[in-house]
Amino acid sequence: MSNPLQVKLPESLKGKTILVAGAAGFVPSTLAQFYLDLGAQVIGLDNFITGSRSNIEILKGYEGFEFMEWDISKNLPDFSGRTIDFIFSLASPASPIDFKTIPLEIMQVNSMGTQNLLELAKEKGARFLEASTSEVYGDPEIHPQVESYVGHVNPIGERAPYDESKRYAEAMTMMYNRRYGVDTRIVRIFNTYGPRMRPDDGRVIPNFINQAMNNEDITIYGDGSQTRSFCYVTDLVQAIHTVMFSEDSTPFNCGNPDEYTIKEAAEFIIDTLGSKSKLTYHPLPSDDPKKRRPDLTKLTSISDYSPQVSFKDGLIKTMEYFKTLK
């Protein structure tokens, strides 16, 4: 039974300071804007390895926003004398293409970068949230995935730089919680899409939308029977916000449980966008998870979270965003 009273979401965050690592990115910039709208002061850090300066320009429209160009893997800016109430550890490239092109940078930000932020949380007495991922479950043997499942990850595969460093980040977060009493949260984010994604980041939704918009061939990897469950970005931000204001330091799945095969998603996008594109089939990347859907029982049992944006509406909003980039 759901019990919304277990999470009391604040109506305003006036007077609070929030640090967002990765603020120029797709999810982090949307989250930063959400907190600016709630009246918080937001400090953004980013080295632009996959983020965009235009996302920072949007945030700079708010008086409460401050940005520092910074690689958090090395160290952090000097925050001595400053209060920080909440830290969001969201800096990490997240597209499977990045796993091949910048694997070391991914491993460094999720290990050293996460630890640097945890040290800051310890020093400031800030609450800390780690953005983990459904990838910690690897190619899952149970479906849908529950938080108690410990995963099925290939530690030497092409996805390992991301999967294993996110698993390490979770371990580091729990270690700071147990050993130093840092007030931590962990979210395991499932496939999220929406405006501010890079149109060429190689993930399935930007690829299919751009191909459909241009009536080009849709590139299905494998036979298209693998599944994913797609969450619109504002729904994800609401889920992350709910976990940050819960009292539970163990991991929460965050996403949308509506599951599609990749072929169904391609057909849905062609249909929704009124495209003339045809399906084409290409080799499946190694270790590509065959099924993925979040079990959201844990999150919905402590809150009234439920995704609000349909796949159709989310696709249209994302397409409109991609059109503005042309």
Binding region for ligand UDP (CB under 6 A):
96, 191, 203-204, 207, 219-221, 226, 228, 262, 284-285, 288
Q: Smallest gap, in angstroms, from Cβ of residue 227 to ligand UDP?
A: 8
Q: Which residues contact 179 (CB under 8 A, 6 or more apart)?
A: none
- Signed CA dihedral, 36, 184, 102, 194: sign only: negative
Interface with ligand NAD, residue 109, by CB under 6 A: yes
Question: Catalytic residue among 35, 62, 137, 162, which?
Answer: 162
Q: Smallest gap, in angstroms, from Cβ of residue 283 to ligand UDP?
A: 9
User: Cα(291)–Cα(259) distance, rounded to whole angstroms?
Assistant: 9
Interface with ligand NAD, residue 48, by CB under 6 A: yes
CB closer to ligand UDP out of 167 and 203: 203
CB atoms within 10 A of CB 313: 12
Interface with ligand NAD, residue 71, by CB under 6 A: yes
Q: Give me the amino acid identity at 2.
A: S
Q: Using CB under 6 A, which of 19, 41, 51, 144 touches ligand NAD?
A: 51
Interface with ligand NAD, residue 25, by CB under 6 A: yes
User: Could you tell me the two tokens for 199?
Assistant: 């149109």
Please check whether residue 198 is in contact with residue 26, taking contact to mean a CB–CB distance below 8 angstroms.
Answer: yes
Q: Three-state SS for 298?
A: helix
- Catalytic site includes residue 162: yes
Interface with ligand NAD, residue 253, by CB under 6 A: no
Mutual orientation of helices 311-324 and 204-213 as an angle, nearest 10°? 70
Contact window for ligand NAD (CB under 6 A) among 92-100, 141-149, 211-219, 286-294: 92-100
Interaction mask 131-150, ligand NAD, x per CB under 6 A: x-x-----------------
CB closer to ligand NAD out of 176 and 230: 230
User: Cα(242)–Cα(253) distance, rounded to whole angstroms?
Assistant: 12
CB closer to ligand UDP out of 71 and 235: 235
Q: Three-state SS for 321?
A: helix
Contact window for ligand NAD (CB under 6 A) among 33-41, 120-128, 187-195, 291-299: 187-195
Interface with ligand NAD, residue 191, by CB under 6 A: yes
CB closer to ligand UDP out of 49 and 87: 49
Q: Do β-strands 259-261 and 227-229 pair in parallel, antiparallel, or remain unpaired?
A: antiparallel
Please check whether residue 238 is in contact with residue 269, taking contact to mean a CB–CB distance below 8 angstroms.
Answer: no
Residue 307: asked if its preceding bond is cis (omega within 30°), the reply is no
In this structure, what is the dihedral angle of CA atoms 7, 13, 17, 19, given to the nearest 10 degrees? 60
CB closer to ligand UDP out of 105 and 163: 163
- The residues of the shown chain that bind ligand NAD, judged by CB under 6 A, are 22, 24-28, 45-51, 70-73, 90-94, 109, 113, 131, 133, 189, 191-192
